[in-house]
Structure 1
């Protein structure tokens, strides 16, 4: 991705002189403009666009922000009939994702913090623009434009308008639950079989290896919310506020022992981030869980992971995505498999990079990633959970704390080498 925090160039699309209605965004004219800009070398003509039902429930940010803005926001299913390069007309099912600008998402989350009250409400405004959501509208479009991959949905068109009405649109592949596997399976973790997990971990290792950046090497962007030792220390009041909120409103999940564990993690941020700073980083999804993934099968019956909603993408150590995924899909009856899957991923990553030969050091790295995941992403989840409960979240929290129990990242260890 481009290095400057606000430089996310996309192929040009015609500017919009006004804020159109949803009907305009779903029209033949707009869809055709996206498709033509995305594939300028092709002769494209859209003949017809018809609505299709689509489930918006898995997109938490879109659902929450939709109630706070007058602009059309969300996912809209479309059946598009078009001609290309003189070939016979064809029909494809697509999804138009209309994204709110990041400042609206950040404002919505600030409102949730105020609704939670307490210390979180007091400290959150000072960090609202740095909690990871201020640039969500740019990052997802930039990923799709500059890093196409089998790991992503097929993209039919992108639209970014910063100058007039802040319109951000993605025209992408439509996923049908009858044609893909484990679509929005956040409430069915048991459906993630060993076959699914091994396929996902191997393909994540391939992605992470392809985007690996060695410590000290140029390549990391200058984003104000990029995880680093300085970032984590500067946001210490936010991590503490998120933890206090979870303990106050959800004492059954955040009992004294767990609160003490994460409080100690906050205290040790300088020490454990000195270790993380010495480790290679990669481009992570940063929201990799069954709300944002599914699987296709190719003609040979092999599974291909597909991850979408890349709006929180950032750079962190490679096992971060794996820690999150396993926290979502491993229930108590499969906690004992966590070390096995972490080791399988390490082997896959090492085979592609030659950088992760030491299994114990890698487990240490995964444990440190789990601390960041617990303080930041789970803390933010718990803030939203306080206002509107997420049924999947308690088991994810339990699984995360089992990760910390297994990996023991707060024990003194030599720096990662």
Structure 2
């Protein structure tokens, strides 16, 4: 199967002086510095399942060119790099790309970027960066990541092709629901969410990576964001890409900090469910949709266990199938529970900590109850300061844990199942660890029907 069919990303010619000057204006303020040059740098984004799908000859096709490895010269303000009306496939880019911007100061003092986010934890929204510590920012240069999103139809067709390659029941079932599995509007969702963070501010903005610029052109199917480059080598963040060594990296204090920040973000949208449901770019799963999706996910689980029983054990697979068999009952509970905006991929691949003299760090475990208490505290504070908040009744510890069990099973049966199918197409190195962590947590939490007030404090999650 060729990757050439997915060369639907952004044309590099659109990354011109105006684009990079906008980034500097957002980073340091208008009229404080001037772009002098920019250059594309090497970036390891291999941890992302669909990153850089527009480049490479990894599938062995003779007619594929590896554009990601092209030698791209540094460009300065006099370079002839005008944006064209027609896209140029030979320069299409989809995935994450690192750029260094050189600039001259126009004012005596340029504010440090490190003061923009007082929050100590941050979600990097699926950016995967593993740069050597030697690449530290210096005066007169700014490192940024350009994240170019493929059109949603490309991802929908890609996942459907992966299902078709499996054959059998999954090929038939998935083809019927391919538009309902979360990829519709994926090309605009992150851009819209970034704009939402700018609008609402507060906790959502504090835990988000800073967005410096956005490119969106529906007629040319162009969707890209420019984000701050999160690099431990600069000394201002820690814990990035720590999935493989999470047990030795994340302390209980770290975990509590992340959950506190996350609860503040969740509380920001509690009581605003109707407003969220009107945001058409969001994915709004429902009980009725789950009825339609159930056969495809059942086929996915069966296929994954057959393909790799070491990852998808009998216990894990049967637990997911049992959940799906009773999903209508469980989704009735979910739909009657308070709902809010969440980051659907918030994990140790996608979060890090900002270095701050005033505090600790973040991670998770029995921490479900900690999150409930932090959420309740944050919600009460916001509700009394904002008359627009709709009053809700916070669940008890037992009710909260029961819903958390359902949410974990829903995540396992859908998201992890999809990871498994992706793993048959392109190896997902962190999948075995995630699957084993979920299996362990399921065993600790017990069956869905069993009431429980708390889970054990220590787990590998």
| Aligned equivalent of 1:219 | 276
| Deviation sequence 1:375-414 (CA, Å, 0-9, x none) | 1111100111122332321221122122222333531779
What is the CA distance between 1:48 and its match in structure 2?
1.9
1:80 aligns with 2:101: yes
Gapped runs of 5+ residues in structure 1?
Answer: 1-17, 306-324, 327-337
Alpha-carbon distance in 1 for matches of 2:146, 2:372: 36
What is the CA distance between 1:55 and its match in structure 2?
1.9
What is the CA distance between 1:138 and its match in structure 2?
0.6
Alpha-carbon distance in 2 for matches of 1:277, 1:357: 14
What is the CA distance between 1:268 and its match in structure 2?
0.7
| Aligned equivalent of 2:47 | 58
Q: Contact 1:349 / 1:356 at 8 angstroms: preserved in 2?
A: no
1:151 aligns with 2:173: no
| 134-143 or 76-85, which deviates more | 76-85
1:177 aligns with 2:203: no
Q: Contact 1:94 / 1:171 at 8 angstroms: preserved in 2?
A: yes
Mapping for residues 77-226 of structure 1, pairs under 5 Å: 77-82=98-103, 86=107, 90-148=140-198, 149-163=205-219, 165-178=220-233, 179=235, 180-190=237-247, 191-213=249-271, 217-220=274-277, 221-222=279-280, 225-226=283-284
**Cα 1:225–1:143 shift into 2, 3 Å:** closer
Alpha-carbon distance in 1 for matches of 2:191, 2:9: 20
**Cα 1:162–1:153 shift into 2, 3 Å:** same
1:254 aligns with 2:312: yes
Alpha-carbon distance in 1 for matches of 2:295, 2:283: 15
Structural RMSD (CA): 3.0
1:353 aligns with 2:379: yes
TM-score (norm 1): 0.78
**Cα 1:83–1:211 shift into 2, 3 Å:** farther
1:371 aligns with 2:409: yes
Q: 1:290 aligns with which of 348, 353, 358?
A: 348
SS in structure 2 at match of 1:356: coil
Gapped runs of 5+ residues in structure 2?
Answer: 1-7, 57-63, 65-88, 111-139, 199-204, 381-392, 453-461
| Aligned equivalent of 1:334 | none
Q: How many matched pairs?
A: 361
Work out which of the two has the higher radius of gyration on C-alpha atoms and give 1 or 2: 2
What is the CA distance between 1:111 and its match in structure 2?
1.7
Q: Contact 1:58 / 1:292 at 8 angstroms: preserved in 2?
A: no
Q: 2:438 aligns with which of 395, 400, 409?
A: 400
Alpha-carbon distance in 2 for matches of 1:49, 1:226: 40
What is the CA distance between 1:365 and its match in structure 2?
1.0
What is the CA distance between 1:351 and its match in structure 2?
1.3
| Aligned equivalent of 2:30 | 42
What is the CA distance between 1:279 and its match in structure 2?
0.7
Alpha-carbon distance in 1 for matches of 2:379, 2:9: 47
| Deviation sequence 1:6-35 (CA, Å, 0-9, x none) | xxxxxxxxxxxx98743x244434323566
Alpha-carbon distance in 1 for matches of 2:378, 2:215: 35
**Cα 1:368–1:66 shift into 2, 3 Å:** farther
| Deviation sequence 1:126-162 (CA, Å, 0-9, x none) | 2222111121111111111121411111111111111
Mapping for residues 189-338 of structure 1, pairs under 5 Å: 189-190=246-247, 191-213=249-271, 217-220=274-277, 221-222=279-280, 225-303=283-361, 326=364, 338=365
| Aligned equivalent of 2:370 | 344
Alpha-carbon distance in 2 for matches of 1:391, 1:253: 11
Alpha-carbon distance in 1 for matches of 2:207, 2:284: 23
TM-score (norm 2): 0.71
Q: Contact 1:113 / 1:120 at 8 angstroms: preserved in 2?
A: yes
Q: Contact 1:350 / 1:356 at 8 angstroms: preserved in 2?
A: yes
